[in-house]
Structures are given as C-alpha cells and as structure tokens.
C-alpha cells in the first residue's frame, strides 16, 4: 500500500502545479522530439485525467462527497490567492462560481507554456469531480487559460442533494 499523497494539503495546488510543470515541460519537449508532440500531449492528458479522478476519490473519502465537502476542498486550489472566486449560487446541490483571477494561467504563461496549462491544470477539473462524486457534473463554458475574462464553473451535485 502506498503512502497517501498529502502534498497538496501541505503546499497548496498552485505551488504543486508549478513544480510539476517545471519537471514535466522538459520531459514533454524531449518525448515530443522522439514521438511527436500531439501523441505525447494526448498521453499526458489521459494520464492527468486519471490522476485527477483518483485525487477526487481520495478527497471524497476524506471529506465526504457532497457540495459542502467539495466547497471545503476548494481551499487547496485558492490558497495564497491562487484563484479569486465570485460565488453565484451555493444551495447544497449547485455550486456555481466564476474565477475572476487565475494565477495558474499566469504561472503557465510566465513559464512560456500556456498551451500546456490547460492540459496540466484545467483538464483536471471534470475528471476530479467525476472521481469525487460520480453523480456530480461540471459545466464550464470558458476559461482564463483560453483567453476568456473569467472561468465559469457550474457544479451540480445530483438529484440526491438538497435543492
């Protein structure tokens, strides 16, 4: 049995993603030379999605799998001003918010890899909620990483949640 991954709870997600990116970007570049960038990015995307599903399941096991528990875990992603959120709805079933500032996008741009930012960070969101609560869903029409003025997160935690 492997040791539980508590790094995110300790250092926050933004610091973790920067460390991961600084390691992964040169590896992706080297593999792309040998196998083609599209193939490498596809494998990276699939791998990151599975990691996110597993992390979502781990979070649910520790915190519970409802909207209130998920909202509590947002602290890891927002720590240190990493994300600035504007909550639009929080009624026990739905958790809707806009991200009005994303330091993740700023960090990937500063590292010169904005195209990998979506793969390494944004790409995780739907998979994470899938692992966290299979009855929950995420709708996100736009992201700052893709150049939009805000990210639109609309979570629905399913019919079993209170209205």
- CATH code that applies to domain 11-156: 3.30.1380
Encode pLDDT of 88-107 as tens digits: 999 999 999 999 999 999 99
Cβ proximity of 44 and 118 under 8 Å:
no
What pLDDT does 12 receive? 79
Token readout for 70 is: 């998920």
Q: Determine the Cα–Cα distance for residues 112 and 118; give it in Å rounded to an integer.
A: 13
- Domain boundaries, given as residue ranges, for the chain: 11-156
pTM confidence score: 0.86
Strand 151-156 versus strand 94-102 pairing type = antiparallel
Ranges under pLDDT 70 in the chain: 1-10, 159-163
What pLDDT does 160 receive? 55
What pLDDT does 76 receive? 87
Q: Determine the Cα–Cα distance for residues 8 and 88; give it in Å rounded to an integer.
A: 26
Encode pLDDT of 132-143 as tens digits: 999 999 999 999
């Amino acid at each position: 049995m492997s040791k539980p991954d508590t790094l995110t709870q300790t250092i926050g997600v933004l610091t973790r993603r920067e460390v991961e990116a600084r390691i992964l970007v040169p590896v992706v570049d080297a593999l792309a030379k040998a196998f083609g960038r599209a193939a490498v990015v596809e494998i990276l995307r699939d791998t990151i999605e599975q990691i996110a599903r597993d992390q979502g399941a781990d979070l649910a096991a520790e915190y519970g799998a409802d909207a209130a528990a998920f909202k509590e875990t947002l602290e890891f992603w927002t720590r240190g001003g990493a994300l600035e959120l504007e909550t639009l709805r929080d009624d026990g079933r739905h958790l809707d918010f806009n991200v009005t500032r994303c330091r993740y996008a700023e960090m990937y741009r500063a590292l010169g890899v904005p195209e990998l930012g979506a793969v390494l960070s944004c790409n995780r969101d739907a998979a994470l909620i899938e692992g966290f609560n299979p009855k929950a869903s995420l709708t996100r029409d736009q992201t700052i990483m893709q150049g939009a003025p805000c990210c639109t997160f609309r979570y629905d935690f399913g019919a079993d949640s209170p209205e």
